[in-house]
């Protein structure tokens, strides 16, 4: 069996694979792998761009563990099996009058996979998805299911990188269902950067898409409300997203043939940005359709460096004359206290860069990573980066505490893989 991620740029050949349908079966698989002397890797939907989900050992998919077990609208506490996708979770929560507090820009991920790396959306008042975890249950290296309800264990397991065990259940703090009004609009790059703090603080959700070589950006402004949803006809939404995906795919093909046309192409693309308003249930607004294949790198920098980081990326692309026809995505996340969360202990600006599939991302990604190092950037664990334990340890105040939890929970490194050896050390 060959396992391939969504972006089709990470692949591996696990020695065995299984899709357990219960926690007991998960525990049986972990013990079976131990007897065979193999490492274990739980995978979600394969939506990481890094090799974090790859293994040559025992691959476990939890896709069959996909039920909501308990939902209490009074407290907002929801106990759910770890393999459910965010899409299915959003629909189930709505049936109980509940919603996730905030979400990223797709909903194809499994819940456990999204939590393992600290998946985030945008909104300066809101933490990442993992900041809403009240408790979780996982199968340890000994093949025993334990509840993780507090202390360093929970702070480690909330963004556990898959290094501590196989998560089978999660208790989430949800919020009453709400309507989200999303406005996409073209804006001037410089005026938007001048107003950045007031936009980020004045709106529930603010996000910026900046194209290299262009002086116009797409801004995405989100406001939460209790007004009734106004769902767009499915066909209209489909056509809009299809056009966006096709337009960017075409740009990728042009870029490969005529790289020097990219600056003009990007200026044209930004002139095509039209104002668009969507008012619907939050989970339907956050999630976008992504047909275009690309790869991605993303860094979490202290929020005060947001403007310098964005301008630095644009200047780097221009200085190296890189043919980049995909935008830089800029988002904001509140500080949290998970030990290895990229936003641990600091309000954060996330800067993401993208490259079309089939194009060599290395020159772009290397140059931007060097730049983000200067801003004390922490890499998104699920996206491409070149950091190692040696470069990462000093960027996380609680690095040692995570290592101690890992030593207690997985002393023999049953849940390791090449990625974890690189980023966490042996």
Ligand X SMILES: Cc1cc2nc3c(=O)[nH]c(=O)nc-3n(C[C@H](O)[C@H](O)[C@H](O)COP(=O)(O)OP(=O)(O)OC[C@H]3O[C@@H](n4cnc5c(N)ncnc54)[C@H](O)[C@@H]3O)c2cc1C
Q: Select 270 or 297, whichever has its Cβ closest to ligand X.
A: 297
How far apart are CB 118 and ligand X at their closest, in Å?
7
CA–CA separation, 109 and 86 (whole Å): 6
| Token pair of 350 as six digits | 């996330």
Contact letters for ligand X, residues 361-380 (x by CB under 6 A):
-------------------x
Q: Select 115 or 213, whichever has its Cβ closest to ligand X.
A: 115
Q: Does 409 bind ligand X (CB under 6 A)?
A: no
Q: Does 33 bind ligand X (CB under 6 A)?
A: no
How far apart are CB 386 and ligand X at their closest, in Å?
17
Q: Which residues pair with 170 in a beta bridge?
A: 80, 136
Binding to ligand X in span 112-171, by CB under 6 A:
112-114, 116-117, 119-120, 161-162, 166-167
How far apart are CB 336 and ligand X at their closest, in Å?
13
How far apart are CB 88 and ligand X at their closest, in Å?
12
How far apart are CB 292 and ligand X at their closest, in Å?
9
Q: Which of 6, 178, 209, 396 binds ligand X (CB under 6 A)?
A: 6
How far apart are CB 176 and ligand X at their closest, in Å?
23
Q: Does 106 bind ligand X (CB under 6 A)?
A: yes
Contact letters for ligand X, residues 233-272 (x by CB under 6 A):
----------------------------------------
Q: Select 18 or 261, whichever has its Cβ closest to ligand X.
A: 18
Binding to ligand X in span 274-333, by CB under 6 A:
290
Q: Select 213 or 294, whichever has its Cβ closest to ligand X.
A: 294
Q: Does 47 bind ligand X (CB under 6 A)?
A: yes
Residues that bind ligand X (CB under 6 A): 6, 41-48, 52-53, 62, 82, 104-106, 109-110, 112-114, 116-117, 119-120, 161-162, 166-167, 290, 380, 382
């Amino acid at each position: 069996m060959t396992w391939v991620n969504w972006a089709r740029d990470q692949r591996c050949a696990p020695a065995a694979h299984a899709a357990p349908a219960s926690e007991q079966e998960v525990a049986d698989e972990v013990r079976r792998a131990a007897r065979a002397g193999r490492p274990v890797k739980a995978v979600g939907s394969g939506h990481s761009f890094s090799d974090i989900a790859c293994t040559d050992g025992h691959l476990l998919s939890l896709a069959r563990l996909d039920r909501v077990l308990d939902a209490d609208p009074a407290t907002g506490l929801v106990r759910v099996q770890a393999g459910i996708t965010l899409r299915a979770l959003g629909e189930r929560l709505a049936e109980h009058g509940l919603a996730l507090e905030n979400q990223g820009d797709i909903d194809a991920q499994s819940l456990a996979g999204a939590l393992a790396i600290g998946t985030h959306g945008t909104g300066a008042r809101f933490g990442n998805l993992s900041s809403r975890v009240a408790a979780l249950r996982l199968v340890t290296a000994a093949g025993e299911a334990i509840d993780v309800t507090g202390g360093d264990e929970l702070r480690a397991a909330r963004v556990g990188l898959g290094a501590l065990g196989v998560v089978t259940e999660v208790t989430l703090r949800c919020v009453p269902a709400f309507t989200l009004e999303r406005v996409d609009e073209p804006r001037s790059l410089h005026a938007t950067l001048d107003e950045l703090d007031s936009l980020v603080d004045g709106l529930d959700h603010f996000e910026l898409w900046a194209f290299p070589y262009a002086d116009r950006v797409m801004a995405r402004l989100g406001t939460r409300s209790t007004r009734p949803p106004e769902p767009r006809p499915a066909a209209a939404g489909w056509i809009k997203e299809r056009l966006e995906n096709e337009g960017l795919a075409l740009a990728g093909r042009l870029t490969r043939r005529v790289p020097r046309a990219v600056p003009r192409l990007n200026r044209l693309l930004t002139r095509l940005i039209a104002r668009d308003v969507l008012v619907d249930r939050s989970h339907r607004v956050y999630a976008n359709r992504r047909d275009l294949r690309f790869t991605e790198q993303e860094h979490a920098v202290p929020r005060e460096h947001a403007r310098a980081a964005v301008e630095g990326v644009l200047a780097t692309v221009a200085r190296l004359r890189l043919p980049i026809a995909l935008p830089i995505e800029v988002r904001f996340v509140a500080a949290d206290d998970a030990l290895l969360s990229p936003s641990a202990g600091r309000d954060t600006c996330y800067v993401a860069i993208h490259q079309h599939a089939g194009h060599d991302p290395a020159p772009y990604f290397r140059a931007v990573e060097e730049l983000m190092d200067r801003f004390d950037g922490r890499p998104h664990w699920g996206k491409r980066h070149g950091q190692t334990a040696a470069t990462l340890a000093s960027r996380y105040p609680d690095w040692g505490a995570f290592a101690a939890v890992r030593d207690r929970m997985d002393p023999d490194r049953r849940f390791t893989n090449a990625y974890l050896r690189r980023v966490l050390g042996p």
